[in-house]
Structure 1
């Protein structure tokens, strides 16, 4: 952290500039959770506008971890809020730094193939989220063709395959096209 200057601190976020001119930020609440939910041969994904990239992004349901909230409870809450679905057993796939060059966020990734019930979404007032059901095959194809770029989704699919949760789809990855 040599020659790093604090530019601004606001609402739990601190923005720094390094001597090289590179800018990064840290968040006090830097933990997030996402769930790769498979319902039969379909994945339960979300689509929402992301201002930072000025585009609609297909990604995993998820969000921040509340103060005193454990990771699994946060993952279940976020899935219910964003998709209206609840789930059974969750499997921890690991953690990733979605943008380590830019932010200190740590995303914890879960997998479930037990989508139990569906109700209405319980979105925050500012959220506009569409639920997207996509076949596992289509998702893998779209990742391969670089049509889906969300780092958490790509990480989750990779870990899901590597840890044997979606072994029946391994042949899609093995194809050389």
Structure 2
């Protein structure tokens, strides 16, 4: 099977705000020139699925693009020079005030490989303590939610979980036996 790649000719930033969109000039394998916009907002995302006894600790946040409050994982963008596991730990404290123990890597995926260039690194951890959350972004109004593991499975089955990071983390942790009640 012939799997030829596109050639990147040049790139320029076309929008920079809460997101960074870059337009790439490309050449297709048949020499056709083109342009392609890519979300290059962050180096990566990191999130952690946290178990505390028989419960899962989730964040509940209002998400403007879908105009609703959703269940998701504490997580966010990695910072320059920060490793994904460090970012996952930082986000658990910032968003939920939860200190986590050892992190188990679950999965790395691209949320929209057709339009974004950054991966999301997912981890599993046990809750190890609490601190006061450090909410310093007025756009992030986050609530900590404690859900029994069996209830999370029901939410998934009813289609009430829409966040891909949470779905992938839940599925992977369940498959590996990390969420056995």
* TM-score normalised according to structure 1 size: 0.82
Partner of residue 165, structure 1: 178
1:13 to 16, 20, 41: 20
Distance 1:7-1:121 versus aligned 2 partners, 3 A rule? closer
Q: Paired residue for 1:130? A: 143
Offset at residue 71 of structure 1 (A): 1.2
- Give the superposed CA RMSD: 2.7
Contact 1:24-1:101 at 8 Å conserved across structures: no
Quick one: distance in 1 between partners of 2:73 and 2:165? 7
Is the Cα contact below 8 Å between 2:106 and 2:169 reproduced in 1? Answer: yes
Gaps of 5+ in 1: 170-177
Rg comparison, structure with higher value: 2
More displaced stretch, 69-78 vs 31-40: 69-78
Distance, in Å, in 2 between the alignment partners of 1:91 and 1:61 is: 15
Unaligned runs of 5+ in 2: 1-5, 26-35
1:72-110 deviations in Å (ceiling 9; x for gaps): 111111101011010111100011112223322311000
TM-score, length-scaled by structure 2: 0.80
1:100-135 CA distance string (max 9 Å, x none) = 23322311000012x111121101232211111111
The answer for the alignment partner of 1:71 in structure 2 is 84
